[in-house]
Each structure stands twice: as structure tokens, then as C-alpha cells.
Amino acid sequence: MRFKTIEHTADVGIEVEADSLEELFAGAAEAMFCLMVDTRGVRRTVERVVRLEASDLDELMFRWLNELIFFVSAESLVFSGFDVGLVRADGLEAVVSGEPIDQSRHELKIEVKAATYHELKVEERDGAWAARVIFDV
């Protein structure tokens, strides 16, 4: 999985490439959390199971990342482990692991408020998968 941060006016985005859909969705989550916190310091003491349905891969990526953002805002959790077991065009199943935010240990960076549909794209290119996501910050 490879990712890079992209500049976008007042927002921030990511571009991710991977060999499989599972790696792509895990990589997008990892890239998003790298924007938010130094994930190297996030222990994997809490797990959450995520099961989502969607009408296509773009909507699935949108729902996936926003579900993870929900855990940050509602439960003050940050994640560093993303075990995406199954991705289909209409849904995914995953287990994410992390821990509650600890201000004394976690260097918080950007507050990501939401993934957006603006320029959102999940596609297969030359036998690999790629995604582009812009976040509201």
C-alpha cells in the first residue's frame, strides 16, 4: 500500500494505491489516521467491528472513512490497525484496533471532520487499485 497527501484549498486529501481492494481500504484508513495522529504511538488495545453496505465502491469508501471518524468524535478513539477482511462493491467487513486518545502520549495533528464526495474516486488501474479522497478539516 502506498499513499501520499495532496493539498486542496482549505481541505486536505489523500491518494492511495494498493494491490487489492482490502489493502486499499485499509491503506485509506491508515493514511487518514496519519493525518490526524502519529499512529506509531497508538496501541492496539481496543477493537471495533465495522460492517457496512453501499451501492458502489465510491460510496463504500465514503461510508468507511466517515464511520472511523465517528469513533474518533463519539468515543475519542484513534486507530492504528486496520484488518479489512472482505470488500465487495456493495459492502465490507473489517476489524479496527486502537485506543482512547491520551493527550499526554498522542501528538494530535489535523482534526479531520469528514470524508467528502468532492473528487472521491475508487478505481482499478493497470491491475492495481487506487483511491482519491478529500477531507473536510
Domain-wise residue ranges, the chain: 2-136
User: Looking at beta carbons, which pairs linking 101-108 to residues 24 or more positions away fall under 8 Å?
Assistant: 101/37, 101/72, 101/76, 101/77, 105/41, 106/37, 106/38, 106/41, 106/42, 106/78, 107/37, 107/38, 107/41, 108/36, 108/37
> What is the per-residue pLDDT for 11?
84
| Whether the predicted pLDDT of 1 surpasses 70 | no
| Whether the predicted pLDDT of 6 surpasses 80 | no
Answer yes or no: CATH 3.55.10.10 is held by domain 2-136: yes
> What is the per-residue pLDDT for 132?
96
Summarize pLDDT for 79-114 with one digit per residue, the tens. Answer: 999 999 999 989 999 999 999 999 999 988 999 999
Summarize pLDDT for 37-75 with one digit per residue, the tens. Answer: 999 999 999 999 999 999 999 999 999 999 999 999 999
